[in-house]
Structure formats: C-alpha cells, structure tokens
Amino acid sequence: MERRCSVINTSKLNKELTQLPINEYVFFKSKDVIFSDEVRMICEKNGCGMYGTSWACPPAVDSIQRCKEQCLHYEHAFMFTTATVVKNSYDIQGWIDARREHEKLTDDVAKIFRSYYNNCLILSTEGCSVCKVCTYPNNPCRFPNSMYPATESYGILVMQQAQVCNIKYNNGPNTVTYFSMIFF
C-alpha cells in the first residue's frame, strides 16, 4: 500500500514561512507520520553518540510509545529542510556550520508557530546544542523552550517520511540536508 501525506490548509502560516530561508516544507496530518522502534535502537546502539547524554535524546525524551503518543496528540505536522553546500563529504566544519544555521532557522520557525498555537512540539536534528554541557540527568534542562528533541529520538523515520511527503532527503553531492518537524 502506498503511503501519502494528507495535505492541510495552512494559508495563514505560509505568508510568514515563505520569508524564511527554508529549502522545502510540507504540512500534513500527524496520523501520517511514520514511526519505527528500530530508529530508537539505532539511536542507542550506533547513532550519533548522544544517547544518554542530553535531555533532547533517549532515554530522556521518554519511551518510544510515549513519544509517539505525544506526536499523535497533535492533529497536524509540519516538516521543513535546509540544504547547504559543503566543500566535500568530509567537511565536518561545514556540517557543523550548516547544523548551527538550521537550528537558528528552527528557532525562527518555532516563533512563528508559537504565535499561532499555544502548545507545539518541536523536533529537530541530532540532539540539542544550546548548552556546551547538558544538565542531563542530574538537573532539569536550563532552556526547555529552546531545546528541541531529535526527530529520530521520537522514532520518526525521517528518510521515509521525506519520501512520502515528496521532500528531498538528499539534495545532491556536497550538500548536507537537515530536517525539523513541528507538531501543532
């Protein structure tokens, strides 16, 4: 069975969002999000190394079932990307700089959504980078409104979600593409 994203009417947000340097974006129903327990296992076993070190990553974000329930509590979802050209596939500093810019854009998008909706769930890339040293697990997060859990930490299959929503996962050689999602 072919999966598709259900399109929703969001004309009131489009005017503001088109002013931002978003590469691609799509609105859809949260019921169309693709979840998988395996994504969490990848996080834990051979992921980015953030497992158990941040409030934005597992296990701090809660169980995979609870994360899914949180997402499905919202009616709508919004996914957007940035695509940045880097020198080559080994340009680690280019990746870091691109991620930093993506997170700034995620802050801007979050402000827009928060101006329309009281309670949004914002997910972004590879764990949080707000603080140099996370307070996890001994103290609460210092900046909970700026800390966005990793999309994959919620068990979302970003690669498949992008395909279903007709968003490019790979924007060509020597580019890095980052994704964020907002549930509202």
One-character DSSP codes across 96-144: HHHHHHHHHHHHHHHHHHHHH-S--EEEBSSS--SSSS--TTTS--S-T
List own/partner pairs for 39-42 with CB under 8 A and 24 or more apart.
Answer: 39/152, 39/155, 39/156, 39/157, 40/64, 40/152, 40/153, 40/155, 42/152
Task: Give pLDDT tens digits for 69-83.
Answer: 999 999 999 999 999
Instruction: Output 2 or 18, whichever has higher pLDDT.
Output: 18
Both structure tokens of 82: 């940035």
Average pLDDT of 75-94?
A: 96
More confident residue, 51 or 98: 98
Q: What is the pTM of this model?
A: 0.90
Tokens of 116: 């329309």
The residue extents of the domains of the chain are 11-183
Give me the count of residues in the chain: 184
Res 7: pLDDT: 56
Secondary structure E strands in the chain: 24-29, 76-85, 121-123, 175-183
**CA–CA gap between residue 174 and residue 166 (Å, rounded):** 21
Supply the Cα-derived Rg of the chain in whole angstroms.
16
pLDDT value of residue 5:
63
Model pLDDT, residue 11 = 81
Q: What's the chain's average pLDDT?
A: 91
The yes-or-no verdict on residue 114 having pLDDT over 90 is yes
Give me the mean pLDDT over the 34-62 stretch. Answer: 87
Residue 138 makes CB contacts below 8 A (sequence gap 6+) with none
Lowest mean pLDDT among 3-12, 21-30, 56-65, 130-139: 3-12
pLDDT digits (tens, 9 = 90+) for 123-166: 999 778 889 899 999 999 999 989 999 999 999 999 999 999 99
